[in-house]
Amino acid sequence: MESSVSHNPDASERQDSDCESDPGPAGSEPDEFCRDIAYESDTEVFDDATSPSAGKQIHYEGAGQVIGDVDGFEHEYSNLCDDPWAPFNSEQGFKLASWFIEGKVSKSRINQYFSSGLGDAESVGYSSMHTLENHLRLLDPYSQYLQWFEGQVEDGQRTLPFFYRNALGCVRYLLRQIAYRDDLVYAPRHEYDSTGQRIYAEMHTADWWWDVQV
């Protein structure tokens, strides 16, 4: 919006805003969802653990139930607010690190940057790729969930390495991120449109999730 002003240095530009009859989004959108969500809390249904065979859905007893609070959550939360750049000692330190990493600066160039005195190691808190990496390791408090493991495969001719993470760790990691807090869905829902028709959109609005949980 700003750029249209820049094309037109005239001061009275601001006045031209009221003269269009912009059709509002509400009336013109037939598919506007009436957010008429029937939210149902988890209720226990029988648990069928006989056979995991195809075509038969299994209920998960108590899935998604809240069973307590996370220890030290408030503490962690306020820590993040008070010291958002930890373990970097300043915003500057974080920004520089971010610039190095996102810009894909090589290890030797980063070391060169500090050794040639271009950067102020004092104020950013690290002075080489090595110390920067130490900082980065501490940056993500849940990085232990994402640890890499190495395995070997033998195919009869060669032995090849492969790498994997703990799948459960990955799930824990994702569920724990504050960034996703407002988006996470813990139980299925039925959603209806304005005419009362059931909506099938996201996974949690479709049948399968209802079959296995609730």
Residue 52 or 117: the one with the smaller Cβ distance to other proteins is 52
* Identified binder of other proteins from the candidate list 25, 50, 116, 118, rule CB under 8 A: 25
Reduced to 3 states, what is the DSSP secondary structure of residue 167?
Answer: helix
Query: Minimum CB separation from other proteins for residue 93, in Å?
Result: 12
* Beta-bridge partner residues of 36: 192
| Backbone phi, psi, residue 139, to 5° | -60, -40
Residue 120 or 200: the one with the smaller Cβ distance to other proteins is 200
Taking CA atoms, 106 is separated from 7, 59, 96, 99, in Å, by 42, 51, 14, 12
Q: Does 43 bind other proteins (CB under 8 A)?
A: no
- Of 20-28, 110-118, 119-127, the segment contacting other proteins by CB under 8 A is 20-28
Of 107, 93, 177, 163, nearest to 135 by C-alpha is 93
Report which secondary-structure segment, H or E, holds 151.
Answer: strand 148-154
Q: Between residue 55 and residue 94, which ones bind other proteins under the rule CB under 8 A?
A: 55-58, 60-70, 73-74, 77, 80-82, 84-85, 91, 94
Q: Does 110 bind other proteins (CB under 8 A)?
A: no
Residue 127 or 166: the one with the smaller Cβ distance to other proteins is 166
Q: Between residue 175 and residue 204, which ones bind other proteins under the rule CB under 8 A?
A: 175-186, 193, 197-204
Residue 3 or 117: the one with the smaller Cβ distance to other proteins is 3
* Identified binder of other proteins from the candidate list 122, 143, 189, 190, rule CB under 8 A: 143
Q: What is the C-alpha R_g of the chain? A: 27
Cβ neighbors of 44 (< 8 A, separation 6 or more) are 61, 62
